[in-house]
Amino acid sequence: MLLILGFDDKQLLTQFETYILAPSVSKMSQNVVTEDKITPLSQVKTFIYALLKSKFIFDHFIIKRNMQDNKGQWTLNKLTKGEDKKNSYYKNSFENDNNDLVMLQSAFHVSTPTTNYKHWLNAVLYYAYQHYQYNDIGLDSTAYLSHIEAIARAFMLRRYLTDEPDDYHHIIYQTPDFNQISFTNTDASLTPNHLRTQIKQYLRYNNIRNIFVFNYLDYLLWKDEERPEFTFTARSSIEHFYPQNKRDDKLFINDKNVEDTLLHSFGNLCLISHSLNSRVSNDMPDVKVKYFLESKQIDSLKLSRMIKCISGQEATWDKTMIAQHEEQMLEIMMKGLNLMSEGA
């Protein structure tokens, strides 16, 4: 009930009156008899309890910044009473390792900095609210991670990489089984190669609907690389590794403006911070690599892969390299989206 409402606090009272208070008044006027009589007062109590439960779940199972250190790392901790019952401290929300949960939630979070449109948070809280158990565990971490990964796949397949994007509300609240997510309005008989072609077009510059496509790939790369030290930060600039506005451009001089130019393909794109974009935007790849390595400022794991392609090697970032990198990244993404098998 509660989590179907939006996150805009200015609409809270209006939505409460429309979706919670009004139905109870309507049922009373129709003399609807229920086992537990629904009244405005009972609805208010139910609503307040739902708010408290949601806040408790948010505090325990949603990432926060650790402001006690200078790094401000993402954490997934809960406040716990000490043995003396007087002092309290923060501990991991789950007994086992929760790094995957921290990484995926932070990947979502930095992709949508605007509070009112954190649809991922709505989806995660909706699941946690429904599955919270009143015991020492609260939520099963394995099932929790599995569901959030399913949410990520759902947003990718039904919102960001499809010809007909589905509504967030429909994805979150009307998906019967998140483990059976597929493209909307897509022929189920399509081969992996056809699916790859469809995905490619929504990963091209100016076709990208949400920067989560980069952060989701970084999450998959992080898992593929056996979880290296990496933190998701606010990066919002989509950068061409080979610059699109180079005056003496020789590589794309004949096909810079054609529809399928590799210049604007996913293989030539990376996600960096706005300040870094201002610094290196028009530099050639070798100059960018030198700056990234000297400053130790590599904003993403995809960018790190691009740097490794030419760093310390007698190789140049050309069309062949761009196409190869794109195919490698698409293969990892398609496996993460369950569109191809591990051995394919």
Length of the chain: 344
Give the per-residue SS3 of the chain: CHHHCCCCHHHHHHHHHHHHHHHHHHHHHCCCCCCCCCCHHHHHHHHHHHHHHHHHHHHHHCCEECCCCCCCCEECEEEEECCCCCCEEEEECCCCCCHHHHHHHHHHHHHCCCHHHCHHHHHHHHHHHHHCCCCCCCCCHHHHHHHHHHHHHHHHHHHHCCCCCCCHHHHHHCCCCHHHCCCCCCCCCCCHHHHHHHHHHCCCCCCCCCCHHHHHHHHHHHHHCCCCCCCCCCCCEEEECCCCCCCCCCCCCCCCCCCCCHHHCHHHEEEECHHHHHHHCCCCHHHHHHHHHHHCCCCCHHHHHHHHHHCCCCCCCCHHHHHHHHHHHHHHHHHHCCCCCCCC
pLDDT tens by residue, 182-225: 665 455 556 777 888 889 999 999 999 999 999 999 999 999 99
User: Which pLDDT does position 253 carry in this prediction?
Assistant: 84
Beta-bridge partner residues of 64: 75
Greater model confidence, 67 or 48: 48
Confidence class for position 296, pLDDT limits 50, 70, 90: confident
Is the separation of the CB atoms in 344 and 192 below 8 Å?
yes
User: Which pLDDT does position 91 carry in this prediction?
Assistant: 87
1 pLDDT above the threshold of 50: no
Q: Which distant-in-sequence residues (6+ apart) come within 8 Å of 130 by Cβ?
A: none
User: Which pLDDT does position 150 carry in this prediction?
Assistant: 96
Average pLDDT over residues 275-294: 87
Q: Report CA-CA distances (Å) from 306 to 32, 181, 259, 299.
A: 65, 30, 23, 12
Confidence class for position 2, pLDDT limits 50, 70, 90: very low
Q: How many CB atoms lie within 10 A of CB 239?
A: 22
Is the separation of the CB atoms in 58 and 125 below 8 Å?
yes
63 pLDDT above the threshold of 70: yes
Q: What is the mean pLDDT of the chain?
A: 85
User: Which pLDDT does position 3 carry in this prediction?
Assistant: 47
Q: What is the pTM of this model?
A: 0.88
Domain ranges of the chain: 2-22+51-179, 191-245+259-336
Cα(307)–Cα(317) distance, integer angstroms: 9
pLDDT tens by residue, 144-188: 999 999 999 999 999 999 988 999 999 999 988 887 776 654 555
For residue 79, give both structure tokens: 């406040």
Helices 99-111, 119-131: inter-axial angle, 10-degree rounding: 140
